[in-house]
Amino acid sequence: MQIEQKEQLSSLMDGEFTHDHIVDEVSHNESLQSCWHRYHIVRDTMRGELHSSSLTLDISNQIAQAIASEDLYNPLTDQPNINATALPKAENLIWIHLKDFFVKVSQVGLAACVTLGIIAGVQYQQSQTDNVNGTPTLNTVPVGVNIAPVGGIHQQNDQQLLEKRQYDKIRLLVQDYELQKRLNAH
């Protein structure tokens, strides 16, 4: 019956339904009144005549009903019963602690064995290879990088200093040539 009433309500809004009994039903039925209101909002929205002042969203009744129907003090069924739980025995606690101790000791022992194997392998490899180029087997310095001595003292020999000065002179000459070329071009 509710679907027929909504169809009649929609027809009344479109001007196709002329019976007065639907008007009486709307005036007495709250759900039909809210439906009538929603239909008007939809119609105004489709016509572009909806103003923000006409929209009111009042959900306080639904929230109040949801809060009232909620059971605040429901018992938790997943919680263990205090009387049903048994305390572990003292001899079991000792075994649990011993097991934890042996697990930790075995982990440290495994790490020590791996480290010993790596060190022994590198030393064996270094003794077997004859270093023609002088680089160690386990090189921790990237190739092509000069390392400054500890303490921040940077020592350069005279040859490197001379090469740097010559490079700077050539760079300045090229810059001067480019500047002269630009000035003469204009």
Query: So what's the pLDDT on residue 55?
Result: 65
Query: So what's the pLDDT on residue 173?
Result: 93
Query: So what's the pLDDT on residue 72?
Result: 72
Q: In the predicted model, is pLDDT for residue 12 greater than 90? A: no
Query: So what's the pLDDT on residue 47?
Result: 80
pLDDT, tens digit, 9 for 90 and up, residues 116-134: 999 998 888 877 765 555 5
Residue with tokens 């000035």: 183
Mean pLDDT of the chain: 78
Query: What average pLDDT score do residues 56-82 get?
Result: 76
DSSP letters, 83-136, are: TT--PPPHHHHHHHHHHHHHHHHHHHHHHHHHHHHHHHHHHHHHHHS--SS---
Q: How would residue 104 be classed by pLDDT, with cut points 50, 70 and 90? A: very high
Rounded CA gap, 90 and 88, in Å? 7
Query: So what's the pLDDT on residue 101?
Result: 94
Query: What average pLDDT score do residues 157-185 get?
Result: 87
State the DSSP code for 52: G
Q: In the predicted model, is pLDDT for residue 94 greater than 80? A: yes
Query: What average pLDDT score do residues 88-99 get?
Result: 82
Query: Between the CA atoms of 85, 89, 90 and 95, what dihedral angle is there, to the nearest 10 degrees?
Result: -110
Q: In the predicted model, is pLDDT for residue 106 greater than 80? A: yes
pTM: 0.30
23: nearest Cα among 9, 2, 3 = 9
Query: So what's the pLDDT on residue 132?
Result: 52
